[in-house]
Amino acid sequence: MQTVRSQSSEVPTGHRSGFVAIIGRPNVGKSTLLNQVLGQKVAIVTPKPQTTRGRILGILTLPDAQIIFVDTPGLHRPRSMVNQRMVEAAERAAAEADVRLWVVDAQAGITAGDRAIAVQLQGTAETCVALNKIDGLPRNALLPLLAALDEMLPGRHVIPVSALRKTNFNELLEQLVRLLPVGPRYYDPEVFTDQTERLLAQEVIREKVLLQTEAEVPYAVAVTIDQFEDKGKVAVISATIHVERASQKAIVIGAGGKRIKEIGRAARIELEALLGRRLYLEVFVRVQEEWTKRRALLKEFGF
């Protein structure tokens, strides 16, 4: 994984390129869509809202276009400082992108949150809509959703997709490429993300914590990588899971250390596959009182 930008000249005339911000409510499948389009995991996915915190780039190089996807945290009405930062990051990405891909959850239907997003998108011409999770949706449920979206954002293309099953991806990509400006190939074709291995390790560990804990814990979790050392075929990583309270630390550790062991094991297995080498992974849990309310710590934890 590298972040080198090279202006390759071997692209056909009319080559298109630019940023596509993937936006939408929490949990509609934005990160899943990105991973599936790339065929590579670059963003972590859980059934919980507020899984994606920062801005993650996923780069798809096609023969005649390069799409630089920006995965963003979900758009919602923030109540905490952490959520406020996440929503701001998403709004900035949407404003700065060449194209916006608005993802709507067909299984959840169109919510008040979606209507608020549609209002924000009204002035943006280069926008298209992915109506996601159409797998398992009754056939007759699709038409009213399409009609409602067309009414909310007239003239924008709406593509029904299933990120999980990669349904209608060709149509989706075709539409996105059409909306992009003519431009060069910014990244080498083999580069698919701007995430460093360190950041990926941090995110995968956080994903495992989220998947294995309930309710209040996810929002209180941050992960830092304290050591990432390459030793040939093995990498040595030590990480800290930060929580806000002793009670949360106890939950993450679990009875007899069972949960933290499982979190470490699951993260190691996945990271070994993603990074292509064996890992020695050590994970600690630490209480950082009220970190979600302390500006300095928010900064340290990447907000």
Ligand X SMILES: Nc1nc2c(ncn2[C@@H]2O[C@H](COP(=O)(O)OP(=O)(O)O)[C@@H](O)[C@H]2O)c(=O)[nH]1
Identify the residue among 17, 32, 127, 213 touching ligand X (CB under 6 A): 32
Bridge pairing between strands 185-187 and 158-160: unpaired
Q: Which does 133 bind (CB under 5 to 8 A by kind): ligand X, Mg ion, none?
A: ligand X
* Residue 241: strand pairing partners: 223, 285
Among 64, 96, 135, 289, binds ligand X (CB under 6 A): 135
Which residue lies nearer to Mg ion by CB, 49 or 183? 49
Q: Which is closer to Mg ion, CB of 117 or CB of 260?
A: 117
Distance, CA of 8 to CA of 11 (rounded, Å): 7
Smallest distance from ligand X to CB 242, Å: 21
In this complex, which beta carbon is closest to Mg ion, that of residue 47 or of residue 155? 47
Contact partner, 85, from ligand X, Mg ion, none, Cβ < 5-8 Å per class? none
* The binder of ligand X chosen from 87, 152, 163, 251 (CB under 6 A): 163
Tokens representing 49 are 């809202």
Nearest distance in Å: CB 145, ligand X: 14
CB of 52 vs Mg ion, minimal distance in Å = 3
Chain length of the chain? 303
> Based on CB atoms, which residue is closest to Mg ion, 28 or 283?
28
218 binds ligand X (CB under 6 A): no
Examine residue 160 and tell whether it contacts ligand X (CB under 6 A): no
Return the closest-CA partner of residue 216 out of 185, 179, 247, 237.
247
């083999």: which residue's tokens? 190
Ranges assigned E (strand) in 90-231? 99-105, 127-132, 158-160, 185-187, 222-231
Percent composition of the chain: helix, strand, coil (DSSP 3-state, to 5): 40, 25, 35
Q: Does 164 bind ligand X (CB under 6 A)?
A: yes
Site residues (vs Mg ion, CB under 5 A)? 30-31, 51-52
Contact residue for ligand X among 52, 66, 193, 224 (CB under 6 A): 52
The residue whose Cβ lies closest to ligand X is 29
Pick the closer one to Mg ion by CB: 71 or 98: 71
- Residues β-bridged to residue 69: 20, 58
| Nearest Cα residue to 254 out of 301, 296, 214 | 214
Q: Exposed/middle/buried for 56, CB within 10 Å: 0-12, 13-18, 19+?
A: buried
Nearer to ligand X by Cβ, of 68 and 281: the residue is 68
Indicate the SS3 state at residue 57.
Answer: strand
> Which positions touch ligand X (CB under 6 A)?
24, 26-32, 45-47, 51-52, 74, 132-133, 135-136, 162-164
